[in-house]
Structure 1
Amino acid sequence: MLLFASRHSGSDIELQGIILFLSSVIGSCSGSSIGVCYGRNADDLPTPDKVVELVKLQNIKYVRIYDSNIQVLKAFANTGIELMIGIPNSDLLPFAQFQSNADTWLKNNILPYYPATKITYITVGAEVTEAPSNISALVVPAMWNVFTALKKAGLKKKIKISTTNSLGILSCSYPPSAGAFNSSHAYFLKPLLEFLAKSRSPFMVNTYPYYAYRDSPTNVSLDYALFESSSEVIDQSTGLLYTNMFDSQVDAIYFALMALNFSTIEVMVTETGWPSKGSAEEVDATPDNAHTYNTNLIRHVINDTGTPARPGNELDVYIFSLFNENRKPGLESERNWGIFDPDQTSIYNLDFNGRAPVDVTTETNATNSNGTWWCIASSEASETDLQNSLDWVCGSGNVDCSAVQPSQPCFEPDSLISHASYAFNTYYQQNGATDIACGFGGSGVKTDTDPS
Structure 2
Amino acid sequence: MELSARTSPYHLPFLISTLFLFHFAAVTPIGVNYGTFADNLPPPAQVAQFLKDRTTIDRVKIFDANPDIIRAFSGTGILLSITVPNGDIPSLADPRTARRWVGSHIQPFYPQTKFQYILVGSEVLHWGDQNMKANLVPAMRSLHNALTRANMTTIKVTSPHSLGILESSDPPSLARFRPGWDRDFLAPMLLFHRRTKSPFMVNPYPYFSWTPKTEAFTLFRPNPGTRDRVTGKNYTNVYDLLLDAVFSSMKRLGFGDVKIAVGEVGWPSRGGPGMTHCTVENARWHNLNVVRKAGSGVGTPLMPGRTFETYLFALFNENLKPGSDDERNFGLFRPDFSAVYDIGIMRESQPGGSGAKPTPVPAAGKQWCVAKAEATDAALRANINWACTNGGVDCRPIQEGGACFKPNTTRSHAAYVMNSYYQAKGHQDFNCDFSKTGFVTAADPSYGTCKYSA
**Cα offsets for 1:201-226 (capped at 9, x unmatched):** 1110001001111xx443xx222212
Asked if 1:293 corresponds to 2:289, the answer is: no
Conservation of the 8 A alpha-carbon contact between 2:344 and 2:351: no
**Cα offsets for 1:34-86 (capped at 9, x unmatched):** 11100112112111011112212122111111122111111111111111111
**Distance in 2 separating the partners of 1:153 and 1:48:** 27
**Distance in 2 separating the partners of 1:360 and 1:193:** 40
Conservation of the 8 A alpha-carbon contact between 1:120 and 1:160: yes
Conservation of the 8 A alpha-carbon contact between 2:343 and 2:352: no
Aligned position for 1:311? 304
Structure 2 counterpart of 1:268, one-letter code:
A
**Distance in 1 separating the partners of 2:443 and 2:241:** 31
SS of match in other structure, 1:329: coil
Conservation of the 8 A alpha-carbon contact between 2:86 and 2:128: no
Q: CA deviation at 1:234?
A: 2.1
SS of match in other structure, 1:307: coil
Q: CA deviation at 1:284?
A: 0.5
SS of match in other structure, 1:204: strand
Structure 2 counterpart of 1:360, one-letter code:
S
Asked if 1:66 corresponds to 2:60, the answer is: no
Distance 1:277 1:261, change over 3 A: same
Distance 1:180 1:440, change over 3 A: farther
Asked if 1:345 corresponds to 2:341, the answer is: no
Asked if 1:48 corresponds to 2:51, the answer is: no
How do 1:196-215 residues align onto structure 2 when only pairs under 5 Å count?
196-213=193-210
Q: CA deviation at 1:133?
A: 2.8
Counting aligned pairs with the same residue, the percent is: 36
Aligned position for 1:152? 149
Aligned position for 2:173? 177
Structure 1 counterpart of 2:84, one-letter code:
I
Conservation of the 8 A alpha-carbon contact between 1:349 and 1:439: no
SS of match in other structure, 1:63: strand
How do 1:25-424 residues align onto structure 2 when only pairs under 5 Å count?
32-56=28-52, 57-96=54-93, 98-131=94-127, 133-134=129-130, 135-156=132-153, 158-186=154-182, 187-213=184-210, 216-218=211-213, 221-352=214-345, 356=350, 358=352, 360=354
**Distance in 1 separating the partners of 2:226 and 2:84:** 38
Conservation of the 8 A alpha-carbon contact between 1:291 and 1:362: no
Distance 1:353 1:233, change over 3 A: farther
Conservation of the 8 A alpha-carbon contact between 2:35 and 2:63: yes
Distance 1:270 1:166, change over 3 A: same
Aligned position for 1:18? none
Structure 2 counterpart of 1:155, one-letter code:
M
SS of match in other structure, 2:201: strand
**Distance in 1 separating the partners of 2:355 and 2:69:** 33
Q: CA deviation at 1:184?
A: 3.2
**Distance in 2 separating the partners of 1:116 and 1:127:** 29
**Distance in 2 separating the partners of 1:300 and 1:204:** 16
Conservation of the 8 A alpha-carbon contact between 1:298 and 1:352: no
SS of match in other structure, 2:159: strand
Conservation of the 8 A alpha-carbon contact between 1:43 and 1:342: no
TM-score by length of 1: 0.71
TM-score by length of 2: 0.71
Distance 1:82 1:359, change over 3 A: closer
**Distance in 2 separating the partners of 1:101 and 1:440:** 49
Structure 2 counterpart of 1:193, one-letter code:
L
**Distance in 1 separating the partners of 2:194 and 2:342:** 38
SS of match in other structure, 1:145: helix
Conservation of the 8 A alpha-carbon contact between 2:74 and 2:109: yes
SS of match in other structure, 2:272: coil
**Distance in 1 separating the partners of 2:266 and 2:439:** 23
**Distance in 2 separating the partners of 1:136 and 1:41:** 26
Q: CA deviation at 1:438?
A: 7.0
Conservation of the 8 A alpha-carbon contact between 2:55 and 2:346: no
**Distance in 2 separating the partners of 1:222 and 1:356:** 27
Conservation of the 8 A alpha-carbon contact between 2:339 and 2:356: no
Distance 1:163 1:38, change over 3 A: same
Contiguous gaps of at least 5 residues in structure 1: 1-30, 364-372, 377-392, 401-424, 442-451
Conservation of the 8 A alpha-carbon contact between 1:129 and 1:169: yes
Distance 1:224 1:46, change over 3 A: same
SS of match in other structure, 1:311: coil
**Distance in 2 separating the partners of 1:303 and 1:440:** 32
**Distance in 1 separating the partners of 2:44 and 2:353:** 32
Aligned position for 1:20? none
Contiguous gaps of at least 5 residues in structure 2: 1-26, 358-365, 370-403, 417-428, 446-453
Kindly report the root-mean-square deviation, in angstroms, between the aligned alpha carbons of the 2 structures. 3.2
**Distance in 1 separating the partners of 2:57 and 2:433:** 25
Q: CA deviation at 1:279?
A: 2.0
**Cα offsets for 1:152-211 (capped at 9, x unmatched):** 01223x111110100110001111112210013132212212211221211100010011
Give the stretch that moved more between structures: 67-76 or 345-354.
Answer: 345-354
**Distance in 2 separating the partners of 1:292 and 1:68:** 32
Distance 1:201 1:440, change over 3 A: farther
